[in-house]
Amino acid sequence: MSVIATTTKPRGAALPREIWVLVGASFLIAIGYGIVGPALPNYATSFDVGVTAASVVVSAFAFVRLLFAPMSGRLVTRFGERPIYLWGVSIVAVGTLACAAATEYWQLLLFRSASGVGSTMFTVSAIGLLIRISPPEARGRASSLWGSSFLLGGIAGPVVGSGLVTVSLRAPFLVYGIALVLTTLFVWWQLRGSELVSRPPEDDAAELTFPQAMRHPSYRAALASNLANGWVVFGVRMSLLPLFVTAVLAKDEAFTGIALAVFAAVNALALLYVGRVTDKRGRKLPALVGLALLAVGSVGIGVTSDPWLFLAAVVVAGLGAGALNPAQNAAVADVLGSKARGGSVLAGFQMAADVGAVVGPLVAGAVAEQWSYAAAFGLTGAVAAVALLLWFGARETLPAKE
């Protein structure tokens, strides 16, 4: 199956309006996620439960996302991206508002888990929409904008959430739920008449199944790199890095906040720049560079005890994550193509990151406890290095200019 297409559109052409709608919605959703994230553990313990029970509430969201991802892929293939996106955001909205009204721990756990179902629905469908409506020659830019909006929203969210927590532990959930309702209405209003987004009733495009996509070396490489991305960025960075700062660097939470902010800032800068490079030079080289930087940065974090060298390693890892994401996302889009239906392909790609985010902190944390932080971050770098090896065997998928 060939993935190299031709196009007469110039590189750097304006992106469709619909992509900017998705980018704006992504930013609003991420702000809300950042609002409730810091408040959730304390809110859970307010129901007279221990730390373990509070951690279960936090993990349940990611676990349900992982379990429901295959079903989300099938729903997208059956009903199309736009309705599943709207239903997904609506489910998260209802679940979040229900969390604000919870009166017992089991209710909070149930409603938060239900939000995980909606989260994977709108994530998989949003990726599908980006693939279908992005010009092939601008997939890297579209992916970088979408990723940057989510990242920046995640940075702004905790700032807003810290103020809401002083009012009430329920306030972040109430505000986020209302914001999601407004986001759903905004996306529906903006995309309701879009022919670019609508799937024609007579659409008989062939479905690309997950086993078929697995035959493509670039898709296999993207799965490995997304697992590494989830392991490092969404897992170890959030769980092990704060502990490392306290135990090894002997610094307080303020320094941890600085380190996380530095990572996010360089990540966002790399995303915006590499997206254009990916569309001009190809997907493979940025992916290789990104994984190399991610591996080196991860190992560097664990072997230093100097705060400045630590921040330098954080910068390297952040640049690597920012360089990797547009490249791997665009490669998956190239493999799938603009017309093929591939809900299971997109779900598999998303699941790889979720697996890394769930397994990474558990394995790396156990290694750190049994041996050392250097070994834990070394293992994290090795995961990125394995993905790097797979990308060496991948094929370039950038659509060729006619």
DSSP string, 167-203: T-SSHHHHHHHHHHHHHHHHHHHHHTT-TTTSPPTT-
Give the domain 210-401 fold.
Answer: Growth Hormone; Chain: A; (1.20.1250)
In percent, how much of the chain has pLDDT > 70?
90
Name the pLDDT band for 5 (thresholds 50, 70, 90).
very low
Q: What confidence score (pLDDT) does residue 379 get?
A: 95
pLDDT (average), residues 93-115: 92
Nearest partner of 314 among 380, 258, 263, 379, judged by Cα = 263
CA distance 151 to 266: 11
Whether pTM > 0.85 for this model: the answer is: no
pLDDT tens, position by position, 230-274: 999 878 887 788 888 888 888 877 787 788 788 888 988 888 888
Does residue 8 register a pLDDT over 50? no
**Predicted confidence band of residue 199 (pLDDT cuts 50, 70, 90):** low
| Predicted confidence (pLDDT) at residue 215 exceeds the cutoff of 70 | yes
d(CA 72, CA 89): 13
Check residue 37 and give its pLDDT: 72
Identify any residues that bridge with 341 across adjacent strands, giving them in sequence order: 207
Query: In terms of pLDDT, which residue wins out, 131 or 27?
Result: 27
Three-state secondary structure call for residue 249: coil
Query: What class is the 16-191 domain?
Result: mainly alpha
Lowest mean pLDDT among 200-214, 256-270, 350-364: 200-214
Q: Where are the domains of the chain?
A: 16-191, 210-401
Instruction: Report DSSP state, residue 341.
Output: B
Q: What is the pLDDT of residue 250?
A: 85
Segments in 192-306 forming alpha helices (H): 210-214, 217-229, 237-247, 253-281, 284-303
pLDDT digits (tens, 9 = 90+) for 318-330: 999 999 998 998 8
